[in-house]
Amino acid sequence: MARKDLFSRRRRAPLRRPRDEDRLNALSDDLILQIMGRLDTRSALGAAALCRRWAHLPRELPALDLKVSDALPPRYRRCIALLHEAVISDALSGCSRRLRPIVGRYERRAMRAMVCSVRSLRAGRHRRVCGKLSLEFFAFSTSATINRLVVDAVDSWGVEDLEVVAKSTEPITHLRPVYKFPRGRISRKPGESRLRSLKLVNCLPPPLEGFTALTTLLLRDLPRSTPAAVYEGVVTACPQLRVLHLVSCSFDRDTSGWLVFDAPMSEIRELVADGPFMTVKLRSLPKLESLAAVDAMVLLCSDANVPCLAHVSLVFSIGPLDNHSIVNHLIWMFMLSLKDKGISMKNLILRFTGPEMWIAPNLKNQFSLMPNLKKLLVADVPSSWDVSWPRVLIQAAPLLESLHVHVSQSQCQHDEEPDHQNVSSCLQQPSSSSSSWQRHRHLKELVVVGFQSMSRIHHQVIYLVRFAVDTSTALSHVAVFKHGHVEDKGGPWDWEMVSKQSTWSNDEKLAVLDCCATSTPQIEVLLG
């Protein structure tokens, strides 16, 4: 019996593997590439040292992402946080002088480690194929190696998507120097380049003449010292550009108060101007379809040629100390110029926010007739505002079919009245016999997110719903939600209203249903 138990235990014992067996080599190249693709590039390069057969595999990775921040220890981030506090505080000026050398040593060590990784990438005679390259580095003398990598990637590797982020060692934002590529180039043979997308952060764009495949350009964090000709030159040098984003950028306004885009041969379809220091005038962009202005001033010249403009997004956040009248005037001029040029805008997104209702003065005159507008989103309306003010836009857009209004939930102040004069006193109450409010024959859908029980917002939402029902003959769907948000789906014009289900009391239901009871034909009402 004992012999039988001994035999069974031996049979269950696992077989020992030979000591010289290499289990890493047993993996296929495709499986190893999938594993490396889930690692950051620095770790993937280090993994090549584990096995001789792996040495060539990093050269086959379709995307490389080299970040100097991956080589920085956690203590560096703590030192940077302390340095920022010391820079803005006179009492900590001595601490600032002691921290700068420490921070500098960390940055130089990280750059040396990154340069070693870059050199290992450029070493060898095997031809590399890479579709996407992302680089983040400090602008030290060692960055010359980075520049050679960029040229090799564009000319030899067939890179189609290039991102270059030049981190500054200066903690004060407006003192940060902009990075310039040595010899002002990223390619020796731009005509043979496959580069389609270029993103530059804190980098002056190199001369882009000859990059015939380049269709997308994003510039970010360019300082006020940047000449206006840099931005204007990009548009004229790359007539094949289709997407241009200027994010957190500025320019030298002493020599030119406005950026003027005048490119009759341009193929630009999408333009984003993001930043309070961006002032842009459009003279000729004949293929422009989508325009987004985020805290930026964008106007159309008197002789503007933008006949294809159909999607517009305007985002402004005005503080209590800002000049409301100037922004209101510029919005009015922009909307009026759309009308005067006969532009068939079909999709409009408005995000006007701030602690005070700065949009209130002259509300009737700010939005001139928008004869072709069909879809309208008014998002992030502060709860301190009169949330029923979008009703003015219903009258300004006779072909409007869908109106979505989102009330911000982050600053709910149920009982606080807005500082400016209430809009309701500026506008006439809706009634079927009123000549100032014309009957609307195309509005089919009204969606409101941010309904609050027993509050000022409660009454204003009810007022907006009643106005839409009384003035719209085609209204068939009304949806009112208590909670939800606007979700961006990849661009300033691609969005979705995401709502959450909530409980409603009988009084709350009756308040909304009573607004829709008088309508003929019957309206579908959704509460959530």
Alpha-carbon distance 136 to 201, whole Å? 9
Residue with tokens 């820079």: 87
Nearest Cα residue to 461 out of 422, 501, 511: 511
Q: What is the pLDDT of residue 234?
A: 92
pLDDT tens by residue, 487-497: 887 777 778 88
Please give the distance of CA 346 from its chain centroid, rounded to a whole number.
Answer: 21
pTM above 0.75, yes or no: yes
pLDDT tens by residue, 61-88: 777 888 888 888 888 888 888 887 777 7
Widest Cα–Cα separation across the chain: 107
Q: Is residue 61 one of the residues assigned to a domain?
A: no
pLDDT tens by residue, 187-236: 888 888 999 999 999 999 999 999 999 999 999 999 888 889 999 999 99
Alpha-carbon distance 317 to 276, whole Å? 10
Q: Is residue 522 one of the residues assigned to a domain?
A: yes
Q: Is residue 18 one of the residues assigned to a domain?
A: no
Range of the domain at 488: 365-410+439-527
* Number of folded domains that form the chain: 1
Phi and psi at 168, nearest 5°, equal -95, 150
Q: Is residue 373 one of the residues assigned to a domain?
A: yes
Q: Is residue 481 one of the residues assigned to a domain?
A: yes
Alpha-carbon distance 506 to 24, whole Å? 67
Length in residues, the chain:
528
- Token pair, residue 139, equals 């602008």
Q: Is 507 helix (H, G, I), strand (E, B) or coil?
A: helix
Q: Is residue 230 one of the residues assigned to a domain?
A: no
Lowest-pLDDT range of 40-44, 117-121, 207-211, 359-363: 359-363
C-alpha distance from residue 527 to each of 32, 340, 485, 509, 514 (Å): 52, 40, 15, 8, 13
Asked if pLDDT for residue 248 goes beyond 60, the answer is yes
Asked if pLDDT for residue 242 goes beyond 50, the answer is yes
Q: Is residue 376 one of the residues assigned to a domain?
A: yes
Strand pairing class (483-491; 477-481): unpaired
pLDDT tens by residue, 378-427: 988 888 888 888 888 888 888 999 999 999 876 544 444 444 444 444 44
Q: How many helices (H) and strands (E) does the chain have?
A: 12, 20
- Token pair, residue 445, equals 């859908």
**What's the one-letter identity of residue 215?**
T
Nearest Cα residue to 118 out of 139, 133, 102, 96: 133
Q: Is residue 292 one of the residues assigned to a domain?
A: no
